[in-house]
Amino acid sequence: MSGSGGGGRQVRAIESIASHLVVLLAVAFALYPVLWVIALAFSGSATPEARVLPIPREPTFDHLWAVISTTREVGDSTQWLFGRQLANSLIVSIATALVGIGIATPTAYALARFNFVGKEGGLRVLLATQMFPAVASAIPLYLLLDFLGLLNSRTGLILCYATTAVPFAIFQLRAAFESIPVDLEEAAMVDGATRFQAFRMVVLPAARPAIAVTALFAFMSAYNEFILAATLLGKEDMFTLPVVLQRFIGEYDAQWEAFAAGALIVSLPVMILFYVLQRHLVAGLTSGGVKG
């Protein structure tokens, strides 16, 4: 061991450089397509050309401005259409996260703490819902929402998104609750708290990171979805942003710059959320891990 000090430092330096190289390569891989989208969004020239570096040609804010300032005439007044659609997206996604978490949290707690008839079967059904492709259930869902009078409404969309997000949320939260020591609740209950109070005052705060991350996933699933939204929504001022984006790309006149500009705006809120929650992201997934 003696005398290896200098050699060890050298080895460590090489290792450090190597790890930085590996990570930088991965970062380049991760950012390259995103940079292309950004470059396209600010490009003034539409002439196609094979290039390596994602640098905007004839930089301009026109596309971004054109997408943001979309309006429409309703009767005599002008409506800021893009603003409404952005609001739709945010309302639907936030409500999805709230409703989804609201439904999943108590259920996940029961699955983590109680034994009851139908528990195993229920878990199996939850996993099964993840395996069945949506292709076959889209039409029945449409008919069902019509029956409930929820077509063409944000409520219908929120309900669909929230319930679709619930199974994964339950898996996540159940694992998180399981990793919280039972002693904490038992101590609270010895002190006179009811089970529900123990759940609310002790377990929920302890599981906050996991809940935040699960909410983020539910938010994202709603914020990025467009197939269901395009089918269910029939009015322009009800559209969510992914539906709007999809319409920039027709077969013959794909407005790629507008699409890229829109994509940039659409991605921004999720990016910010990810940035804010990224510490929790690791912690949230750590708590026992995602359990299937």
Partner 1 sequence: MIRRRTAARLALAGLALAPLLLGAGEARADEGDEAATIQLWHAYRGAEEEALQAILEAHRAAGGPPVETLAIPYDAFGSKLGAAIPLGEGPDLYIDSHERLGDYRVRGIVAPVGDAFEGEAAFRSNAVQAVTLDDAIWGLPLSQKCVALYVNQGLLKEVPATLEGFAGLRDTLPEGVFPLAYEAQGAYVHSALLGAFGGSLLGPDDSFGFVGDPAVRSLNLARALIDGGVVPSDADGALVTNLFRGGKAATAISGPWLAADLEGSGIDYRVELLPKVEAADGAPMRPLLTVEAVMLSPEGAKRADVRALARRIAGPEAAALRQERARTLTARADVPLPPGDKLLAAFAAQAEVATPMPSAPAMRATWEPANRAIKAFLRGELDAEAATEGARKRFDDVRRPLPPPASPTPLLIVVGLLLLYGAFSLVRQVRSGELVPALRRSIPAYRYVAHAVITVGLLVILPLVVGAATSLWAGRPETGHYVGLANFVDILTARGGPLLATGSFYVVLLVTLLWTLANVFFHLAIGVSLGLVLSRPTMKLRGLYRVLLIIPWAVPNYVTALAWKGMFHRQFGAVTGLINALNQTFGLSIEPIAWFSHFSTAFTANLATNVWLGFPFMMVVTLGALTSVPGDVLEAAEVDGATRWQRMWQVTLPIIRPTLLPAVTLGAIWTFNMFNVVFLVSGGEPDGTTDILVSEAYRWAFTREAQYGYAAAYAVLIFLMLASVTRLGEWKAGRRAAREAAAARAAQAVEGGGH
* Residues 224-263 interacting with partner 1 (rule: CB under 8 A): 224, 226, 230-231, 234-236, 242, 245-247, 249-254, 256, 259, 263
Strands 72-74 and 77-79: antiparallel
Q: Residue 102 burial (CB < 10 Å; 0-12/13-18/19+)?
A: exposed
Q: Which is nearer to partner 1, 54 or 56 (CB)?
A: 54
CB burial string 234-260: b at 16+ within 10 A, e below: eeeebbbbbbbbbbbeeeeeebbbbbb
Distance CA(244)–CA(262), nearest Å, equals: 9
Helix (H, G, I), strand (E, B) or coil at 77: strand
- Cβ-Cβ contacts under 8 Å for 200 (sequence gap 6 or more): none
Q: At what angle do helices 119-129 and 154-178 cross, to 10 degrees?
A: 130
Binding residue for partner 1, selected from 82, 177, 219, 223, defined by CB under 8 A: 223
Q: Which is nearer to partner 1, 58 or 146 (CB)?
A: 146
Q: Does the footprint of partner 1 cover residue 158 (CB under 8 A)?
A: yes
**Angle at Cα 82 formed by Cα 238 and Cα 91, nearest 5°?**
50
Restricted to residues 172-211, the positions that interact with partner 1 (CB under 8 A) are 194-197, 200
Q: Does the footprint of partner 1 cover residue 144 (CB under 8 A)?
A: yes
Binding residue for partner 1, selected from 66, 68, 159, 189, defined by CB under 8 A: 159
Restricted to residues 39-68, the positions that interact with partner 1 (CB under 8 A) are 46-52, 54
Restricted to residues 71-130, the positions that interact with partner 1 (CB under 8 A) are 73, 75, 91, 95, 98-99, 102-104, 106-107, 109-111, 114-119, 122, 125-130
Distance in Å, CB of 203 to partner 1, minimum: 12
Q: Residue 60 burial (CB < 10 Å; 0-12/13-18/19+)?
A: middle
Q: Which is nearer to partner 1, 184 or 283 (CB)?
A: 283
Q: Does the footprint of partner 1 cover residue 285 (CB under 8 A)?
A: yes
Q: Which one of the spans 62-70, 80-88, 180-188, 280-288 is the region binding partner 1 (CB under 8 A)?
A: 280-288
The alpha carbon of 128 is separated from its chain's Cα centroid by a whole number of angstroms, namely 21
Please tell me the count of residues contacting partner 1 according to CB under 8 A. 130
